[in-house]
Structure 1
């Protein structure tokens, strides 16, 4: 990483808290025996859905008047009783909460939006059944999902993690509530930094976690202790502002995201550096400076940071040579088929694109004005907003409000940082 030119002062981006950290912290606090405080939580559709689902379990969550912090009174174990839980569009709720429920006692029915019903759950369902849980699913093996719980003994488990790391993370977070803990192995793990994040937070809440030489993870029984935790800014969300700096020649700093970050998606800055941006990282902040144009002509595996592949793909037309991104097949099973969605929208802009099962190649080109189909996917809307900014070409989002899933104030913040650009992303 190189030093930022002091002659071009950085503008600080106001990035909200990490969704991944917020929802994991909420769950661990709900399982702890006592009161935890989660500072600077993300306020978005997904975190509100997760919080509401926890209150359906009987978890008390008190918000400060300005939501500066959430105070969570934990259950000291898994939930007890009966509950219907609405997960809305939140994949983390549908994947983290059923193992938590299975470690309790009672009957718990999970459901969500049509978009969430379409997302796969069968690897998690199969894993829970192998642990002894009684689980009934809806058509296709997904939501609605009924968990009839009578504690879980735990044991030895191999989890198919080829579609998402969230199945493994959900099971790991429930493991300290199992009678004998859990020895877990991941099969074909994708997005491994998210599992590292899970384990780091579990340790913060007092769980006994050990990794074997063969990659297996041993989780000891014993539950969680209450903890106070400050949520970092969301590194996935920061990627759009870092990319905006790279394509405009501006300098953007995100305070609170530094060398000690728990979020693997901060490695997106390494990708931008490969594309010619200058990156400076300290313990307390990360700065990206663009200049000299975007450099292409490389092939990169973004499987571990797939939530940011769309950020790169959307700005790739502005590079000086083609860019190929691979290792992202599991991104077809997110809020949308993200490879197809990105490719279709780039083609609508007149950009030449090739794609395969787990890869996409984007060629340089001047985008034409187009209407961008967001597929109710926040990351499509945010990524193409950066392309509009960098190209100066009007791109109209069909659903600009879908960014509320993770960053309701996204459009306002992008315009604040780049006030000389029109509000293309706001038009409907």
Structure 2
């Protein structure tokens, strides 16, 4: 029998830059006065779509030949129309760019793929209208959003953020370009760590932000100042190699992703502790080591880190008892209805999966051969690829290339790290 000498010696995973940080930093750099260097950005379908949308808005973007640095030059104000912006599949582009455009002048027409059009945008449109923007969404499905911009005044706003935190992030990032302070009372916020990330990056670019214990966030006008930023590895993407370590009994380190991370999804490593994995989070790196056995029998709220619930659900059949994830109702409004899609795929594998409006329970079982329906959703493809490490030859993906949305090199990296005998 072949043994793997690196079973307990940590392998170093090559995880690309954070999508969430890259796209927020692109927007903030575009809104800032001067030229910002973004180092180690994520180069993927979503971030390239976002960068292209910025150039359509008149923002200058230059890159080094190796794409290790993107230089974004902003004018310190909103853009000038008329122009049409294609958001492709990128939800962040559709939620972050309209508020930025509304602080400018002229007509801006936003459009995107059929998948993106199916995702809700009305809370953002309604919020922009309350701030004085002229917004139209009644184009018979021909566009996402049409804005006739003449700047935004700011003011008082109550925002329901129970569907997505991205509406709030988009409004907050545009606020320093408004004529008066913006104060938002937030209700039903999901994915709070992403708002913490947004506020930290806004402050990095010089914004003045105040928060109250009652959930009120106030941003004062004054614009942004260009400043360089090194993009840390993507914590959501790291969840797949961490989970793979847990189910194969191996040890994997992600450098550059540690206790000082801006990303809440690093908490997935702590969820893996519940399964029995050994986890070490240092200032500059995180290491997960599997024990060869996956422990179940617990219930975990993953509402704040919902992009990673599929990673846990996909490996849950290998546990010794059922695992329940709850607090994830908003995951039904992502690239797919992720709760339903994951449950159907698990059942296709012969695994018992029970779903509720905001939860999913996965029971132990031996996966049988099946073809996974990815629904053009990168996270479904990556999550079930991890389960495939313990069911070799039994799991195939109907759309393996959809991982290009956030990690074009995913399959090659998973193969590099784990192409060896798994723990029994």
**Superposition TM-score tier, normalisation by shorter sequence:** over 0.9
Kindly report which structure 2 residues correspond to 1:193-342, keeping only aligned pairs within 5 A, or say none: 193-342=193-342
Runs of 4+ in 1 over 3 A off after TM superposition: 138-143
Contact between 2:61 and 2:73, CA under 8 Å: does it hold in 1? yes
* Matching of residues 28-427 of structure 1 within 5 Å: 28-138=28-138, 143-392=143-392, 394-420=394-420
Task: Please state how far the C-alpha of 1:181 moved relative to its aligned partner.
Answer: 2.1
- Residue 160 of structure 1 deviates from its aligned partner by 1.1
What corresponds to 2:8 in structure 1?
A: 8
Report the CA distance between 1:212 and its aligned residue. Answer: 1.5
Q: State the TM-score, normalized to the length of structure 1.
A: 0.96
Q: Which ranges of structure 2 fall in alignment gaps of 5 or more residues?
A: 1-5
Conserved in 1, the CA contact under 8 Å of 2:331 and 2:339? yes
1:203 aligned counterpart, secondary structure: helix
Structure 1 residue 213: deviation in Å?
Answer: 2.6
What is the rounded CA distance, in whole Å, between the counterparts of 1:213 and 1:168 in structure 2? 17
Per-residue CA shift, 1:9-43, capped at 9, x if unaligned?
10000000000000000000000010100000000
Asked whether the 8 Å contact 1:325–1:361 carries over to 2, the reply is: yes
Q: How far, CA to CA, are the matches of 1:113 and 1:203 in structure 2?
A: 33
- Of the structure 1 ranges 79-88 and 412-421, higher mean CA displacement relative to structure 2 is found in 412-421
Q: Secondary structure at the match of 2:366?
A: coil
Residue in structure 2 matched with residue 425 of structure 1 by the alignment? none
- Offset of 1:418 from its aligned partner? 1.1
In structure 2, the CA distance between the partners of 1:223 and 1:280, relative to structure 1 (3 Å rule), is same
CA contact (8 A) 2:86 2:110 kept: yes
Cα deviation per residue 1:280-306 (whole Å; 9 max; x = unaligned)?
A: 011110000000411100011000000
SS at match of 2:224: coil
Report if aligned partners of 2:50, 2:93 keep a CA contact under 8 Å in 1: yes
**1:129-167: per-residue Cα shift (whole Å, max 9, x none)?**
000100001468894210110010001111110000000
**How has the CA–CA distance of structure 1 residues 142 and 342 changed in structure 2, closer, same or farther, with 3 Å as cutoff?**
farther
What is residue 18 of structure 1 aligned with on the other side? 18
* SS of equivalent to 2:33: coil
Q: TM-score, normalised by structure 2?
A: 0.96
What value does the CA root-mean-square deviation take over the aligned residues?
1.4
Pick which of 108-117 and 73-82 moved more.
73-82
CA distance, structure 1, for counterparts of residue 134 and residue 142 of structure 2: 14
Deviation at 1:393, TM superposition (A): 5.1
How much does 1:8 deviate? 1.8
User: In the aligned structure 1, how far is the partner of 2:185 from the partner of 2:231?
Assistant: 28
Distance 2:7 2:63 in 1: 42
- Quote the Cα distance in structure 2 between the aligned partners of 1:393 and 1:316: 19
The answer (yes or no) to whether the contact 1:415–1:421 under 8 Å persists in 2 is no
Contact 2:374 2:398 in 1 (8 A): yes
Tell me the number of residue pairs that the alignment of Structure 1 and Structure 2 aligns: 417
**Cα distance in 2 for residues equivalent to 1:370 and 1:412:** 22
